[in-house]
């Protein structure tokens, strides 16, 4: 494939992400803690992560056969000469495992170092965020943009902390002090 039709590709990746995200949501109904493995301290993986990634690799591999994969669970070690899919099949596994309905699928396509396409689908809210290079950003079918707020004091800021890197915790708190 010499030239990618990013509009069509985005639409197909959105559909795939919705299908897999909705499957993950349905799997959560009967999910048990015994379905969880530990990759490290506070780092979980389940059959849902692995199966979702396998589905993404299969579907996305059909869309751009020459693309490789950078995938969190290591489902594929295929390296593309030019294109790479970046996949976090279940972004928020810790939330998923604990029954907190805040998780999503995350997929991106790069051409060497250039980001071409990104899709994030949150199945509980049925919000799909997507963008293509030079094509704007959207939530579902609505165009989105960064806030027009020009003052930091007037802004809403949200942050998270790494679940496995406590060595830099004091540094994070020092930075946050500047915002209060």
Q: Of 7-21, 61-75, 142-156, where does the model show the most confidence?
A: 7-21
Assess whether pLDDT exceeds 60 at residue 2. no
Architecture label for domain 6-144: 2-Layer Sandwich (3.30)
Q: What is the pTM of this model?
A: 0.84
The CA-atom distances, in angstroms, between 108 and each of 5, 31, 72, 76, 98 are: 15, 27, 13, 15, 26
* Beta-carbon contacts of residue 20 (< 8 Å; ≥ 6 apart): 52, 55, 56, 59, 89, 105, 121
- Domain range summary for the chain, segments of one domain joined by +: 6-144
Closest by alpha carbon to 55, among 29, 83, 17?
A: 17
Calculate the dihedral angle through the C-alpha atoms of 79, 82, 88, 89, rounding to the nearest 10 degrees.
-80
* Residue 7 banded pLDDT, cuts 50, 70, 90: very high
With contact defined as beta carbons under 8 Å apart, do 167 and 41 qualify? no
CB 31 within 8 A of CB 46: yes
| Number of Cβ within a 10 Å radius of residue 19 | 14
pLDDT at 163: 66
What pLDDT score was predicted for residue 3? Answer: 79
- Give mean pLDDT, residues 105-130: 97
Q: State the pLDDT at residue 1.
A: 43
- Is the pLDDT assigned to residue 69 strictly greater than 90? yes
């Amino acid at each position: 494939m010499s030239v990618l039709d990013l509009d069509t590709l985005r639409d197909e990746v959105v559909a795939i992400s919705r299908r897999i995200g909705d499957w993950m949501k349905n799997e959560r109904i009967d999910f048990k803690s015994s379905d969880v493995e530990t990759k490290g301290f506070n780092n979980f993986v389940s059959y849902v992560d692995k199966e979702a990634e396998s589905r993404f690799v299969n579907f996305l591999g059909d869309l751009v056969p020459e693309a490789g994969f950078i995938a969190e669970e290591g489902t594929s070690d295929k390296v593309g000469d030019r294109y790479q899919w970046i996949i976090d099949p279940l972004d928020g596994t810790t939330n998923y495992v604990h029954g907190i309905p805040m998780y999503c699928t995350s997929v991106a396509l790069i051409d060497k170092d250039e980001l071409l396409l990104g899709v994030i689908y949150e199945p509980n809210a049925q919000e799909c965020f997507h963008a293509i290079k030079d094509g704007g950003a959207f939530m579902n079918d609505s165009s989105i943009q960064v806030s027009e707020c020009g003052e930091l004091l007037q802004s809403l800021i949200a942050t998270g902390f790494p679940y496995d890197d406590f060595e830099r915790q004091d540094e994070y708190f020092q930075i946050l002090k500047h915002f209060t």
